[in-house]
Amino acid sequence: MTALLDIRGLTTEFRVNGRWHAAIQDVDLSLAANETLAVVGESGSGKSVTALSTLRLLPQAGARIGRGEILFEGRDLAKLSERQMAKVRGNDIAMIFQEPMTSLNPTMTVGDQIAEVLMIHRGMSHGAALNEARDLLDEVRVPDPARRVTEYPHQFSGGMRQRAMIAIALACRPKVLLADEPTTALDVTVQHQVLTLLDDLKRERGMGVIFITHNLGVVAQIADRVAVMYAGEIVETADCTRLFANPAHPYTEALLRAMPRVDRRADTLEPIPGSVPSITGRPAGCYFAPRCGYARPECGHHPVLGPISGAGGSDHQARCILRAKAEEAA
Amino acid sequence: MTGLKVESLKKHFTIGGGFLGGKARTVRAVENVSLSVALGSCVGLVGESGCGKSTASRAILRLEEPTAGRVTFDGIDVASASPAQMRRLRQRMQFIFQDPYASLNSRRSIRKTLEEPLKVHGIGDPAERRDRAEAILSEVGLPQDAMDRFPHEFSGGQRQRIGIARALVLEPDLVVADEPVSALDVSVQAQILRLLDDLRDKRTLSFLFVSHDLGVIRHFCDTTCVMYLGHVVESGPTQEIMDDPAHPYTVLLRQSSPIPDPANRVDPPRIAGEIPSPANPPSGCPFHTRCPRAFAECRESMPAAKEIAPGRQVACHLF
């Protein structure tokens, strides 16, 4: 399968007190068409920075892409001029955000906001764009689209606003959709509706979707593949089924054990002690070692992402020295 | 009856009206909530945003004056308690807030935050208050040097620990916790839940635990009340409700709650729509607009709560 989007060794740095610190480092991700890749991690893990770097949406001052390539259909987005990049955004790669109310313009009708994208990227007339906007609202299953197209965001409920955001993102038929916690602000019943919608749209259009979330339950519902991030690095990546059945990295395992589940009785939760290290205070060696129950002296060396053998393909990788040793011994 | 008893609690708000206010409307935030929290037990109040669970929890402690209904604690009527009685009651009923960023005074040191409730209730002399504040701080797992620091120096999880310490310093019998772990990351959320578990074991504490997360409720609560648009639609032992939900809304909520197991992808009924506005609730059963099993009667009359198994009540015409 050829990759639609191929991120290689991406390192994004922020300036904190006059020094550059890597918010994410050596991130490798590849996304195929008609695939949902979930990027999961806690706050501060770098999952949003990864998405924002991909679209080069980080502030010009105080943030920079230090190293790495972002290959979209063979072109390196990191090297494009701002003008070229503006054509990619929304057209080839679109993004939806967590809080639809702050991402929509309260002074414009929802129809005009969808139409704006079509007028800019596809040069459509206002009337034609509004017609298309109505069809898009229908496609994202907003009831009564002919009336809704003339309404303002405050007249929409939370779930409907997120649908409107999705309609804007999909207006130019992008090949890649970056979804940054799109359902976090929604109630579970509405969250399920939006997840189903995104999954259907992915299938119908053969889009690649990068789905960023902190919720492992949501990952299990929607993802084909998963990348787990911790303190700016990918610590484990695997096929979705495999990751949940055989988590290889201690952090993934600990996350699964810390999550209270609705489907089974758990008398004790196992919390992960401590908290995610800040961007300026990452420990030497393995970043997870201070919180890891398996930590050994050799965890003082920073581990690389190495293959984990097992049934069902070889694309399972984890960043753990102890797992690497176990692999060597086997 | 000891513990907390809530009967037919109602809380309406008026919006609009007055100069430039437009037409006055009534928001029926809490329509009919009855529940009881026995001493030492933990009752969960679960539902989606707008269902009235937070308002109910606030009205129970009279942080909002209830519109109607009766709340008693150890037999004392909370609404008609004299100011002196109310002060004593407040000491025994404490609140933990959702947002650990907003619920602490940023200009007040942790010491002041923890000693103030003791001062207000006239407990102990300064030395004793200091001892009690220090004891509670270590009980919630914070170092003593946290005492003279300020809220901004702490992470979200640590702030929530401070919020818990502030509630527990008065040694209450009942704690009402409104989404105490929703703002936290999974790993920290588990730390706080574990802390609450430990505190529950060590003291005789009852909890009214408000959450939208069925997983958290399942972990923490013995009994669960499911709310929808101001009504308790189902209540009973937590495990039974989670494993065998009866009310169509509980079924939907349960099936929509994501499970971290890709082999278990469910496809709940694709119902359209979201929770209606409590300013304009539907007639009859509040869930009929979204219910896959609604019939004529559901549009006309609100079903009464029926006991379908010991301790298990459902308000639905299907039962």
pLDDT band at B215 (very low <50, low <70, confident <90, very high): very high
From first CA to last CA, the distance across chain B in angstroms is 29
Q: Say if the Cβ atoms of A191 and B264 lie within 8 Å.
A: no
Residues A135-141, mean pLDDT to the nearest whole number: 91
Inter-residue contact B144 to B172 (CB < 8 Å)? no
Q: What is the pLDDT of residues A170-226, one digit of tens each?
A: 998 999 999 999 988 888 888 988 899 999 999 999 999 999 999 999 999 999 999
Please name the member of A143, A191, A240 whose beta carbon is closest to the beta carbon of B256: A191
Residues B113-129, mean pLDDT to the nearest whole number: 92
Instruction: Provide residues of B within 8 Å CB-CB of chain A.
Output: 48-49, 155, 157, 185-191, 193-194, 197, 212-216, 218-220, 239, 242, 252-265, 267-268, 270-272, 274-275
pLDDT at A90: 87
Residues A98-112, mean pLDDT to the nearest whole number: 89
What DSSP string runs through A176-203?
A: EEEEESTTTTS-HHHHHHHHHHHHHHHH
A-chain CB neighbours of B261 within 8 Å are 220, 244, 263
Q: Say if the Cβ atoms of B216 and A244 lie within 8 Å.
A: no
Q: Domain boundaries in chain A?
A: 3-92+174-284, 106-173
pLDDT at A314: 64
CA distances from A307 to A292, A300, A324, B38 (A): 20, 20, 8, 53
pLDDT at A12 over 90: yes
More confidently predicted of A281 and B46: B46
As a residue count, chain A comes to 330
Say whether residue A191 is in contact with chain B using an 8 A CB cutoff: yes
Contacts of B230 (CB under 8 A, 6+ apart): B28, B29, B30, B31, B32, B33, B51, B52, B278, B281, B286
Q: Say if the Cβ atoms of B219 and A269 lie within 8 Å.
A: yes
Residues B118-140, mean pLDDT to the nearest whole number: 92
CB-based burial, A252-275: b 16+ in 10 Å, e otherwise: bbbbbbbbbbbbeeeeebbbbeeb
Please name the member of A190, A196, A260 whose beta carbon is closest to the beta carbon of B215: A260
Angstrom distance (rounded) from CA B124 to CA A167: 62
B-chain CB neighbours of A271 within 8 Å are 187-188, 190-191, 193-194
Say whether residue A265 is in contact with chain B using an 8 A CB cutoff: yes
Please name the member of B218, B239, B256 whose beta carbon is closest to the beta carbon of A189: B256
pLDDT band at A1 (very low <50, low <70, confident <90, very high): low
pLDDT at B82: 87
Mutation site, A262, A276, A291, interface B, largest B CB count within 10 A: A262
Q: What is the pLDDT of residues A182-195, one digit of tens each?
A: 988 888 888 988 89
Residues A262-275, mean pLDDT to the nearest whole number: 83
**What percentage of chain A carries pLDDT values higher than 90?**
71
pLDDT band at A276 (very low <50, low <70, confident <90, very high): confident
B-chain CB neighbours of A221 within 8 Å are 258-259, 262, 265
Q: What is the pLDDT of residues B241-284, one digit of tens each?
A: 999 999 999 999 999 999 998 887 877 666 667 788 888 889 99
Q: What is the pLDDT of residues B25-47, one digit of tens each?
A: 888 999 999 999 998 899 999 99
Please name the member of A263, A268, A275 whose beta carbon is closest to the beta carbon of B155: A275
pLDDT at A208: 95
Q: What is the ipTM of this complex?
A: 0.86
As a residue count, chain B comes to 319
| H/E element, A254 | helix A250-258
**Interface A-B: count of C-beta contacts within 8 A:** 135
Per DSSP, helices labelled H in A55-144 are: 82-88, 100-103, 110-122, 126-139
B-chain CB neighbours of A254 within 8 Å are 187
Angstrom distance (rounded) from CA B61 to CA B86: 10
Q: Please, which residues 280-309 of chain A have a Cβ atom closer than 8 Å to chain B?
A: 291
The CATH classification number of A3-92+174-284 equals 3.40.50.300
Q: Say if the Cβ atoms of A191 and B261 lie within 8 Å.
A: no
Say whether residue A259 is in contact with chain B using an 8 A CB cutoff: yes
Q: Say if the Cβ atoms of A259 and B186 lie within 8 Å.
A: yes
Q: Say if the Cβ atoms of A260 and B262 lie within 8 Å.
A: no
pLDDT at B204: 85
Say whether residue A91 is in contact with chain B using an 8 A CB cutoff: no
Q: Which domains does chain B have, with CATH numbers?
A: 4-314 (3.40.50.300)
**What percentage of chain A carries pLDDT values higher than 70?**
98
B-chain CB neighbours of A157 within 8 Å are 274
**Strand partners for B237:** B223
What is the chain B residue with the closest CA to A269? B190
**What percentage of chain B carries pLDDT values higher than 90?**
62
Q: Say if the Cβ atoms of A189 and B272 lie within 8 Å.
A: no
| Average pLDDT for chain B | 90
pLDDT band at B116 (very low <50, low <70, confident <90, very high): very high
CA distance B312 to chain A (A): 19
Per DSSP bridges, beta strands A208-213 and A225-230 are unpaired
Q: Say if the Cβ atoms of B256 and A188 lie within 8 Å.
A: yes
Window from A32-46, A85-99, A256-270 with minimum mean pLDDT = A256-270
| Average pLDDT for chain A | 91
What is the chain B residue with the closest CA to A43? B185
More confidently predicted of A267 and A97: A97
pLDDT at A312: 57
Q: What is the pLDDT of residues B66-86, one digit of tens each?
A: 999 999 999 899 888 888 888
Residues A281-293, mean pLDDT to the nearest whole number: 92
pLDDT at A265: 77
pLDDT at A267 over 60: yes
pLDDT band at A313 (very low <50, low <70, confident <90, very high): low
Strand order in the sheet with A3-16: A19-32, A3-16, A63-72, A75-76
